[in-house]
Structure 1
Amino acid sequence: MMSSHHNPNPHVVLFPFMSKGHTIPLLHLARLLLRRRRGVAVTIFTTPANRPFFSKSLSDVLHSISLIDLPFPENIPGVPPGIQSTDKLPSMSLFPPFAAATKLMKPHFETALNSLPPVSFMITDGFLGWTLDSANKLRIPRLVYFGMSYFSSVVSRSVTSAGLIVKTNGDDEPFTVPDFPWLSVTRNDFDAPFRDREPKGPLFDFVMEQMVATVNSHGLVVNSFSDLEHVYMESYNRNSLLKSWPVGPLCLAEPPRKNPPENQESPSYIKWLDQFHEQGKQVLYVAFGSQAEISPEQLEEIKVGLEKSAVNFLWVVRTHESELRADGFEHRVKNRGLLVREWVNQREILAHPSLKGFLSHCGWNSVLESICAAVPIAAWPMMAEQHLNARMVVEEMKIGVRVESSDGSVRGFVKAEGVEKAVRELMEGEIGKNARKKVKELSDSAINAVKEGGSSWLKLGELIDEFHAKMINNPQ
């Protein structure tokens, strides 16, 4: 490597995991780094199949960023050839072999790092724990990015360290969180392997491997901000040896488009929303993320619930058209409902003046995007830590309503009546009205956090300065 004395400006390496929900926040962080410190160099690692998405997302700042492709492993057992992102996997059951295969990228990663000018620090996804060994080998501090809230992190830690998952009898039996006695959760609020009484298998092994790599790294970069999670952030910092930097909401690095670029039409779904705005009508946005696997039976209940609710809605569906039963649904709701089967700009939709509510799976990115757009949430968690996020949305932040299952279980089947009730309450009810007021206050706080002088703005500056100073004082 070149001597650090030839590189007075900070140089940051970012390496997102191959999944849209993990990638997008780190692309936003790249923008924030460029904006936060004049002269900063940013290098981002990706794979050939994912590069077009990176290039398109960063098209206006690509001249200031280095993108490096690493060959993605081939012949992964069970994974169809050519797939280089989890949102294209035929089933999330293939996640463990897909994630484990990324380790084969290590020699290519190290060769590429060796060819770069000195690196102040790297931020790699929590699912890429193997990058710690590469970072240590090349004497580059590795920081970890997990797309989780402080809330879900500290609640999970409190419950697991007290062994409450093992001690609880029923899946839906409420118990108190030891460090936060005002909180009550159930075993069903946790996903595998954390909810398993005797966790084992490839997923558990993978998770443990990443946790070991995380605690041996130099810190955690968190997509959150102080005003949103102050109590939980303080708890994390008190009880963890790993320093954390809350630098979010990262999505605010890229202001939503108000108008399409010159010579480019607005997407059809935005034109559809424009029509409703012109008519003074308000719309519900429905989306469950890029990973959720929803059964055909559950999809039917969503359809019936939305139809009965009589609200206007824009529903982004991942499922192939043939999986939605051809029963005339789209024709019946054509004057007030639109089904979209393409990749959408979610922030652009949420920022639209016609939007009044979001029926969401409560992925952390979606929660933050909803807050930033001041749109309340009907919470319907599906997987990972989304059940904890949903509790935070409804019970802690009070910016939404919960979609209730037919048997009251946290993970139970939701009938059409449950969808209709939650949607109506969010769009027309008193709880929805209060949630709208509260989310507007949080939206203002989020915007202030990333402004010059805001809490996240200051934290990002501290992060850059601390690790760049170490590099200058300890040349690689």
Structure 2
Amino acid sequence: MSTKTPTSLHVVLFPFMAKGHMIPLFQLARILLHRNVAVTLFTTPANHPFVTASLSGTQTTVIPIPFPDNIPGVPSGVESVDKLSSMSLFFPFASSTKSMQPYFEKIVQTLIPAVTFMVTDGFFDWTLESANKFSIPRLVYYGMSNFSITVTAVVAQNANLFNGKSENDKVVVPEFPWMKVTRNELDDVSSGRDVNSQFAEWMHDMILATRKSYGLVTNSFFELEPEYSNYWNMKYGPKSWSIGPFCADQTLTKTESLFSQKSSWMIWLDKKLELGSSVLYVAFGSQAEISLDQIQEIKLALEKSEVNFLWVMRKGVKESTLGFGDGFEERVKEKGIVVREWVNQREILEHEIVKGFLSHCGWNSTLESICAAVPILAWPLSAEQPLNAKFVTEEIKIGLRVETCDGSVKGFVKWEELEKKVKELMEGVIGKEMRKKVKEISDAAVKAVEHGGSSWRSLNELIEELQAKSIVA
């Protein structure tokens, strides 16, 4: 029997190669280091510079392992989802990661001190086999809320829920009768639209690997979604350990920027603060694919609304595809700016002049908005974002929903609707009430990660449990 001291705890983190998956685990690395846990983080060669820059000043060991360079449609050297030319390449990109398994295993078994546990992305189902090979507990990170994983599981378990229903017909969610969902608010596999494809098979393998893993690490806090956290842990599993939100943890520096000098957009926000002009932050994530026609409606809505705005475009999208040659930026230069670089979103949201967020409702963005006490104008585009939007607008009521022309989740949005909702959020009574509500939730988030808070206790319990397990091993 071997014995290990608390300082010998060693975790392996392996995030999926997408900014929205990587950045939260960078934050988790800092939190675990603060708890005297040694951290080794795996990534790929092309992502290595971004990872090391993000974790500079920490004792994190960063190890790059080879990524396949023969994926159909994906140029050699493209090793991150945000650099894919189209999201149609997501599945071949994600499913190809299994080729990294032998490199991963070869290094894991040589690490000193020996690995106590690993936290790997849910998309890396193959890491369960690696973990079992070396008797290492594997915890799964999906970057999703307890609400989303629970509602998705309940719907998937009720296979006949949408029988005879159209894509946009609302049905009551079993176990949560106050909630209604449509097929369009769920992924194709969970809603029963896709059951036989290679993608569906990959999803099923991923879910099965999750169920056989030690637990889930969830970037959330109990007080935010108690019903769904309890339901998941009572009915499904493995146990979800809510230890966030990571962005509220004060062990992190307030705004971890990759830049040594203040950026032009932060200087612009400072000037708006001097003028007392509230700003709407607009961003749809690094993976959003928005049509030219839809971009034109967004531009028109922002211009007509006359609100101040900071709009971050997806980096790498060609100017010619966006229709920005019409003088839009010149016309709105007194009110708004368009940024085409990677930004520290947390830093922007924390700026005191930012009073609203037009968002795709990715879970990271949702949490960062909550932590910064900024209400959301929800415009979900893909993945579990429709469920996050439902949570924001219907469950905790800190946001408004952008309505599409046909009432569907992924339909077209006209400028008149967007202008109306932007004004409601930024200037209306509803927006003012939501700012009060989100401030209350933001305060609760900070308390959750502070000493003695629910997330602080949950992380302590997890570390102690894994420590005890490693001593017995």
Aligned match for 1:54, one of 44, 51, 54: 51
In structure 2, the partner of 1:293 is 289
Aligned residue number for residue 63 of structure 2: 68
| CA apart distance, 1:372 | 0.1
Give the equivalent residue in structure 2 for 1:108. 103
Following TM superposition, by how much is the alpha carbon of 1:268 offset from its aligned partner in structure 2, in angstroms? 0.5
Equivalent of 2:319 in 310, 318, 321: 321
Alignment partner of 1:42 is 2:39: yes
Distance 2:128 2:65 in 1: 17
Residue identity opposite 1:275 in structure 2: K
Q: Which amino acid aligns with 1:116?
A: L
Query: Residue 54 and residue 28 in structure 1: after superposition, are their counterparts in 2 closer, same or farther (change >3 A)?
Result: same
Which amino acid letter does the alignment assign opposite residue 65 of structure 2?
L
Q: CA deviation at 1:7?
A: 8.2
Distance in 2, Cα, partners of 1:467 & 1:435: 40
1:87 paired residue number: 82
Q: Is the 8 A contact 2:69 2:75 kept in 1?
A: no
**Aligned equivalent of 1:153:** 149
Counterpart residue type for residue 304 of structure 2? K
Moved more, 348-357 or 411-420: 411-420
Residue number in structure 1 paired with 2:389: 390
Matched, 1:243 2:239: yes
Q: Residues 236 and 4 of structure 1: is their aligned pair in 2 closer, same or farther, counting only changes over 3 Å?
A: same
Task: Quote the Cα distance in structure 2 between the aligned partners of 1:170 and 1:259.
Answer: 46
Aligned to 2:172: 176
- Give me the whole-angstrom Cα distance separating, in 2, the residues matched to 1:353 and 1:186: 37
* 1:254-283 deviation digits (Å, cap 9, x = unpaired): 34339998xx32000000101000111110
- Specify whether residues 428 and 54 from structure 1 end up closer, same or farther in structure 2 by C-alpha distance, changes over 3 A only: same
Shift of the 98–3 alpha-carbon distance from structure 1 to 2, 3 Å rule, reads farther
Whether the 8 Å CA contact 2:257–2:344 is kept in 1: the answer is: no
The 3-state SS of whatever aligns with 2:13 is: strand
Task: Output aligned runs, 1:297-376, within 5 Å.
Answer: 297-318=293-314, 319-325=317-323, 326-376=325-375
Q: Secondary structure at the match of 2:244?
A: coil
Question: In structure 2, how many angstroms separate the alpha carbons of the residues matched to 1:182 and 1:433?
Answer: 26
| 1:141 aligned partner | 137
How far, CA to CA, are the matches of 1:352 and 1:7 in structure 2? 38
TM-aligned CA distance change 1:29 to 1:181, over 3 Å: same
Structure 2 CA distance for aligned equivalents of residues 197 and 78 of structure 1? 26
Match of 1:77 among 54, 72, 97: 72
TM-score (norm 2): 0.96
Q: CA deviation at 1:49?
A: 0.7
Structure 1 residue 165 displacement after superposition: 4.9
Unaligned runs of 5+ in 1: none
Does structure 1 conserve the Cα–Cα contact (< 8 Å) formed by 2:124 and 2:206?
yes
Kindly report the root-mean-square deviation, in angstroms, between the aligned alpha carbons of the 2 structures. 1.7
- Cα deviation, residue 168, structure 1: 4.4
1:279 aligns with 2:275: yes
Residue number in structure 1 paired with 2:255: 257
Q: What is the alpha-carbon distance in structure 1 between the residues aligned to residue 154 and residue 16 of structure 2?
A: 27
Are residues 1:403 and 2:399 paired? no
Q: Tell me by how many angstroms 1:57 deviates.
A: 0.9
CA contact (8 A) 1:149 1:222 kept: yes
Q: Pick one of 209, 215, 234 that aligns with 1:213.
A: 209
Q: How has the CA–CA distance of structure 1 residues 168 and 276 changed in structure 2, closer, same or farther, with 3 Å as cutoff? A: farther
* Distance in 2 between residues matched to 1:53 and 1:377, nearest whole Å: 28
Paired residue type of 2:107: A
How far is 1:167 from its partner?
1.2
Q: Equivalents in 1 of 2:366, 2:164: separation in Å?
A: 29
Alignment gaps of 5+ in structure 2: none
In structure 2, distance between residues paired with 1:428 and 1:229: 29
User: Which residue in 1 is equivalent to 2:413?
Assistant: 414
Query: AA paired with 2:49?
Result: P
User: Aligned-pair distance for 1:418?
Assistant: 1.5
Distance (Å, rounded) in 2 between the aligned partners of 1:260 and 1:53: 9
Separation in 2 of the partners of 1:65 and 1:168? 53
1:155, distance to aligned residue in structure 2 (A): 1.0
Q: Is the partner of 2:261 in helix, strand or coil? A: coil
1:191 partner letter: D
SS in 2 for 1:422: helix
Distance 1:201 1:292 in 2: 24
Bigger Cα displacement from structure 2, 110-119 vs 160-169: 160-169
In structure 2, relative to structure 1, the CA distance for the partners of 1:463 and 1:258 (3 Å cut) is: closer
Distance (whole Å) between structure 1 residues aligned to residue 47 and residue 267 of structure 2:
28
- The code of the aligned residue for 2:345 comes to Q
Secondary structure, in 3 states, of the residue corresponding to 1:167?
coil
**Greater Cα shift, 6-15 or 122-131:** 6-15
Measured in 2, the distance between the counterparts of 1:255 and 1:231 equals 32
8 Å CA contact 1:165, 1:197 repeated in 2: no
Distance 1:389 1:259, change over 3 A: closer
Deviation of 1:166 after TM superposition, in Å, equals 3.8
Q: How many Å apart are 1:8 and its aligned residue?
A: 5.3
* 1:233 counterpart residue number: 229
Q: Secondary structure at the match of 2:286?
A: coil
